[in-house]
Structure formats: C-alpha cells, structure tokens
Amino acid sequence: MNVLLGVGGGIAAYKAAELARALMEGGARVQVVMTAGAQEFVQPLTFAALTGRKVITDLFSSASGDATLSSAIEHIGAAQQNDVLVVAPATADLLAKFANGLADDFLTTTYLAFTGPVILAPAMNTNMWLHQATQENMKRLRARGHRVVEPDEGHLACGMTGPGRLASPDVIASAVLAEGNRRYDLEGETILVTAGPTHEPLDPVRFLTNRSSGKMGYAIAEAARERGARVILVSGPVHIPAPRDVTLVPVRTANEMRTAVLDRLAEATIIVKSAAVADFYVSSPPNQKIKKTAARLSLELDPTPDILSELGRKKEDRLLIGFAAETENLDREARRKLEAKNCDMIVGNLVGGDTGFDSDENEVVLALRTGETLIVARASKRVIADRIFDEALRLRLALYARQ
C-alpha cells in the first residue's frame, strides 16, 4: 500500500515522524509532503531518513531558478501513485483550504487531484478547533466522505486544556492501514445497525438517558458501507454526522427504536444492535414541567421493551450481533447475554474507564455462538468495527457448516 503523508505546520508535526514509522511497520510505503509551516518545526531530512524517499516540500522545485515541467506536474503523479492520503497534523489553515478548494502549495494542490480515500487528523488550539468556522469546514469535509481521526483532549502546547491534541500516531496508523486494506466482502448484504442512546421523557424538559455518544454504532455503519453493504442506521439522539450513503432513521425513545427496527427487519441480513437503550421509562410523563419543591420525589419506572430479545425470537436465519456494556465480569456477562437473547455474537466492553462511552477507542471481547470468546485489543472504534465484521463473516460460515 502506498501512503501519501501530508504534514501540516503545527507543533504536532514532530508526531508525524512516529506516524510514518508506524505506517511503515504496518507494511505501507510512505511518501511525505511537508508544508512550509511544517518545515519550521521538523526538518525534511528526518522524514527522508525514516522513509528512505525524497520529501516533497514545494510545488515547484527548480534548477538555476527555472521550474521544470516534471516538477510542475509532480502533484498529479503523487495523487495517482498513492492509495491513501493522510494529513497529520491537519491544521485549521489546511482544513479551511481543503474545504474550500484552495490550492496554493503542493499538498493542497495534490488534495484536489487525489481521488482515493482521505484521512484527516486535526490538531490545533482548543478555541480554533471549536470555532464555528472550523466546525463548518469539518462538516463539509466529512460530507465528502473523508475519515476524521478526532483530536484528543488534554494539555496543549499553548497552555490550554481541551480538545485539539493530535490523536495517537498508532490510532491514526490503524485508520490508514484499515482504509488501505478495505474489502468489499459485504456486497449484497443489508445491515441494520442501531446506535446511540435513547431519551426517555420524565416531563417536557427532562429525560432519562446514558453516556453513549453513538461513535461505536456510527463506526459500524461506516465500516459496513465501505465494505459494500447497504446500511440502515437507526439512531438515537447524537451529536455526530451520519456516514455518507447510509439510510438514517432518527429516533428518540426505546419504543420508537423498537418500531423502527421491526419495520425494517425484513430487509436486513445482518443486525448489529449497538445502541445503548435506556432500561426504564415513565409510561405516562406529565404534560407540564415537574416543579422543584423541598419534598422528595419518587418516580414510578417501567422497563423499556427488550428489543434484542425480541429480535432473537424473530431473527430466523439472520445474523444477530448484540452489545453488552459492563462494569465487571465481562466474559461471563457477554456469554450469559448471548444465550439469554439468542444472539450469534455479543460484543462486550467494560465501561467507566477511558474507553467505551465518549471515547474514540474501545477494547472488547467477542462472545460467539460457536463457543469461542475472542479478545480484541484496544484500538480505534473504526478498527474494532472491521474486526466485528471479520468475525461475523467467519461465524456465519461456521454456523452454515454445522447445518
């Protein structure tokens, strides 16, 4: 796999050297392009030594002051000869140029000529990242189908604390290598995915919910679509954009999710039930806001419908994959849920730490109908999603062989 690594002009440029090494260790051949700003932080010689290849630093290289024809069209060659374009760090300036089609250096010009998958790893000051202009640019770039490796939160070089740190080079490398090794082994499948939390109203302004961000379910939907499947995504309320070319069915409550899933069950060949559905709800919430008083308030809660159990009874020959978010005894609880809900696979993950809810990463166990339990090491949720489908296809063959 040939990877074009664009390095933007930010303090995180030094981490791009670690990314280049990780990509090469993963079997990629890396060509580095540096902006003028990036060269203020890291010398091109660093990347040349790591990759063993020329580092491209300017749109026009010249001898005796005259640009040659070959150098003038080098960006076209770079666009045609590489399989994946990854930009890390992707600065606010680069994101704005990409979003608006500006091309004033080698990297931005190559971006416009590049027709393959693009992966962006933003890094910048927290206020710059959260600024409306940057977020609007990100929305536009995501809409083009570009994958974004979200920045981490933490202490930044500017002294602020918040989102904006470049994601781990290993996480970025995993996303790039997964993109380069993309398969189309789900063509002909219709995959029904549920994602996100549900909101169960207590009154017109309050509701019961949980910490699910929807990132795992959306990564599953994206992975399925990129592997050739038709995808129906039934999603509770989240704050992330839906993957491109999926059918999004927005819902709010557990009952709405149940109705949406059952309405589309006949279309599905594989069901991935990753939503974190609330366990209880108020069956008849008041029409007016409950006023705060000094007295204690008691709520009468009813259990929400068990969508996964109902799917287990109705799935027929469909592959049914459920999720189990646990705080202890993960292997045992995943296996118990597999049997109780009549699933073919349960994806179990521990919650309450720095993976799972709200995180871009996960580490899971896969409890399979065949009796196997597989441990999947910590990785980006997109990588985890691909591993789930790898094992699902293998599981289907094993189950068919038993028949």
Residues with a catalytic annotation lie at 158
SS3 4: strand
- Going 76 to 78 to 80 to 84, the CA torsion angle's sign is negative
**d(C-alpha 357, C-alpha 361), whole Å:** 9
SS3 147: strand
Place of tokens 């039934």: 234
Q: What is the CA angle 318-278-312, rounded to 5? A: 20
**d(C-alpha 176, C-alpha 158), whole Å:** 28
Q: Do 380 and 218 contact (CB within 8 A), yes or no?
A: no
The number of angstroms, rounded, from the C-alpha of 136 to the middle of its chain's C-alpha atoms is: 19
Nearest Cα residue to 149 out of 123, 185, 116? 123
Q: Do 367 and 331 contact (CB within 8 A), yes or no?
A: yes
In the 3-class helix/strand/coil scheme, how is 289-315 assigned residue by residue? CCCCCCCCCCCCCEECCCHHHHHHHHC
Q: Return the number of other C-beta atoms located less than 10 Å from residue 213's C-beta.
A: 20
C-alpha distances (whole Å) from 221 to each of 41, 106, 124, 317 are 38, 34, 28, 21
**d(C-alpha 8, C-alpha 19), whole Å:** 13
Question: In 205-286, which ranges are E strands?
Answer: 207-208, 230-235, 247-250, 270-273, 280-281
SS3 12: helix
Neighbour-count burial of 215, counting CB atoms closer than 10 A to its CB (0-12 exposed, 13-18 middle, 19+ buried): buried
Phi and psi for 202 in degrees, rounded to 5? -100, -35
